[in-house]
Structure 1
């Protein structure tokens, strides 16, 4: 096997896949990257057995073949070569020799046959949509995922396919984020999968804010997302996601509307003197007025007063300020609408001009 191409053409695919290579591995080969040189160019594959990334370079093959190389060492060598350098990689027995200008490096290798890859993910229902739509959907919902919860199915992002629509839902049991986008979905029935946290984070890193199309395929045990020159595959969490529709409150008349940024800044200030562990703030609502109050064990207090659009009867309810701030930061619009029920029920936040994203926050007892 022998390849020759410019440093930048090799560095780009390497940087795309290196994120899934763990520094501590259960299997030595998982610390390597699989390099395959074939008739259609070069592919680089990295995996941690949960997430697999395959990046492609379309030229540079002098002799076909395949090998696995120490991923981070190979990456560091290529990254530190001079810009525009011609990089040659050739096999010499069980070693790989990398040369560029006056530099020469000899790397140990492992057989390509030992490298685990995922080729077929079974029957799929493909969905094609712009990259920025998928990125926005994940970005505005993933923060509500649980972190190392014993209910393992909460440690991921639910993707729900139905005819003409893709929905994302995340919850940690205390708050919930829900978003949906329309798309060309080739399914006649609803399908749900749960993507693990690492897969979600890698997808966010890889997706760009562009109109370029991506292909999303949901298999029985895997999700696959195909981007230009890059293929992402992740195992799914095997579990049943809770019925999220049940926790979305049905709001009648207690609706508050105000400036998103004004409310956000008031919450930031009030939370300074909240209990550091629970981050609790109290909302005191009256006609056209909202007061945000907080206190802590040192008997310190904060009191913020805002003019809001609210005509229903007065009420008091407590919330975790961090959960409210996460939701407000995910909303793009100038205003925010909050739907309230009573002091023991969840509230729902959304952009009055964009109902595609909704956020539910449970109350706190203060």
Structure 2
């Protein structure tokens, strides 16, 4: 195998696939990146057997072939290469990288041992604008659980029904929900839990210029294609909780308030609210068109007041400040309606001008 290409092309190839490289696999070859040259392009691929990414970059191929390079070392080397034409040559699993009058030789792996990324057989597919999907990921993914004791919470439920796509994420303390309209002439139907790692990769790789995202799926896998990227992921097995049951249909108090004022007040109050366990609990008091946050700790005290429009009962309720901040940072509207029903029921935030998003957060029971 022998090819000529730019440093930029090599860099975009390794950057696209490197996060799919396995760092804890028993198969040494999975710590490599598969590079395949055919026609006038170079195909990069990596997988940890849960997720796989393929990407094509332009190159001049003088001899077709396949090689597997050590991912971390190859990526580090490419980053340090000068900005000139690079020649890659593979002979007996050793890879020679030539530039100017210099060369680097790396030991590779046997390409025969590298597992191929699956292409789905007879998949169901649909497309949607990348900008919509990217925003849906941004507004939900932070609610996925990080611990791995119950895998269904480590992913986001994606559902396609009619002309609707829905993403729902929850870690059992909070829940984020986003829907959008899509073209679905085939009336494809899908419901599956996509690992958070997969969605964060898609979010990282999606460019605004990749206008359309193609999503295909089977019972156990989902494929995302955009630009020169092909990303396949295993779906998480298990039953996602019935999220519709936990979203309250009524509320006792409705608070209409500015996202920016609320976010800034909560961030300031959280600086003085860290308790011994490291959690930031803040108490909110809503009465007579004012939202107050009074916080006292061994660090000092703060008293925040925001003018709001409210309907219904006065309420005092406590929340984990981080859970409020995470959501307020991704809500693109100026105003939200915060729906509350006493100190023990979940709070629900809805952007005033966007009926397609909702964030639910459970209160914290405080002893004072």
The answer as to 2:222 corresponding to 1:223 is yes
1:80 corresponds to: 80
1:53 corresponds to: 53
Structure-2 separation of matches of 1:105 and 1:154: 45
2:42 corresponds to: 42
Aligned positions of 1:1-366 closer than 5 A: 1-39=1-39, 41-83=41-83, 85-185=84-184, 188=187, 190-210=189-209, 212-252=211-251, 254-276=253-275, 277-296=278-297, 298=298, 300-366=300-366
In structure 2, do the counterparts of structure 1 residues 131 and 331 end up closer, same or farther at CA, with 3 Å as the change threshold?
same
Q: Secondary structure at the match of 1:121?
A: coil
User: How much has 1:191 moved relative to structure 2?
Assistant: 2.2
User: How much has 1:40 moved relative to structure 2?
Assistant: 5.5
Deviations 1:136-186 (A, max 9, x none): 110111001001142221011111111111111111101001111111235
In structure 2, do the counterparts of structure 1 residues 283 and 183 end up closer, same or farther at CA, with 3 Å as the change threshold?
same
User: How much has 1:240 moved relative to structure 2?
Assistant: 0.9
Structure-1 separation of matches of 2:40 and 2:251: 60
User: How much has 1:247 moved relative to structure 2?
Assistant: 1.0
Structure-1 separation of matches of 2:175 and 2:362: 9
In structure 2, do the counterparts of structure 1 residues 117 and 186 end up closer, same or farther at CA, with 3 Å as the change threshold?
farther
Structure-1 separation of matches of 2:152 and 2:101: 53
Q: Secondary structure at the match of 1:209?
A: coil
The worse-fitting range, judged by mean Cα deviation, of 30-39 and 269-278 is 269-278
The worse-fitting range, judged by mean Cα deviation, of 87-96 and 314-323 is 87-96
In structure 2, do the counterparts of structure 1 residues 299 and 115 end up closer, same or farther at CA, with 3 Å as the change threshold?
closer
Structure-2 separation of matches of 1:184 and 1:216: 12
The worse-fitting range, judged by mean Cα deviation, of 89-98 and 169-178 is 89-98
Structure 1: stretches of 5+ with no match in the other structure? none
User: Does the 8 Å CA contact 2:17/2:55 hold for their aligned counterparts?
Assistant: yes
Q: Secondary structure at the match of 1:358?
A: strand
User: Does the 8 Å CA contact 1:122/1:220 hold for their aligned counterparts?
Assistant: no
In structure 2, do the counterparts of structure 1 residues 62 and 211 end up closer, same or farther at CA, with 3 Å as the change threshold?
closer
User: How much has 1:118 moved relative to structure 2?
Assistant: 2.2
CA RMSD of aligned residues (A): 1.9
User: Does the 8 Å CA contact 1:126/1:185 hold for their aligned counterparts?
Assistant: no
User: Does the 8 Å CA contact 2:144/2:154 hold for their aligned counterparts?
Assistant: yes
User: How much has 1:24 moved relative to structure 2?
Assistant: 4.5
Deviations 1:82-132 (A, max 9, x none): 11x221122223322221111112222222121112222344331211221
User: How much has 1:33 moved relative to structure 2?
Assistant: 0.9
Structure-1 separation of matches of 2:36 and 2:120: 20
User: Does the 8 Å CA contact 2:165/2:181 hold for their aligned counterparts?
Assistant: yes
Q: Structure 1 length normalisation: TM-score?
A: 0.93
Structure-1 separation of matches of 2:80 and 2:300: 54
Deviations 1:25-71 (A, max 9, x none): 42110111111112362211011111111110244111111121112
User: How much has 1:300 moved relative to structure 2?
Assistant: 4.8
User: Does the 8 Å CA contact 1:52/1:117 hold for their aligned counterparts?
Assistant: no
Structure-2 separation of matches of 1:265 and 1:3: 54
Structure 2: stretches of 5+ with no match in the other structure? none
Structure-2 separation of matches of 1:37 and 1:7: 16
In structure 2, do the counterparts of structure 1 residues 33 and 308 end up closer, same or farther at CA, with 3 Å as the change threshold?
same
| Count of aligned residue pairs for this structure pair | 364
Structure-2 separation of matches of 1:80 and 1:30: 23
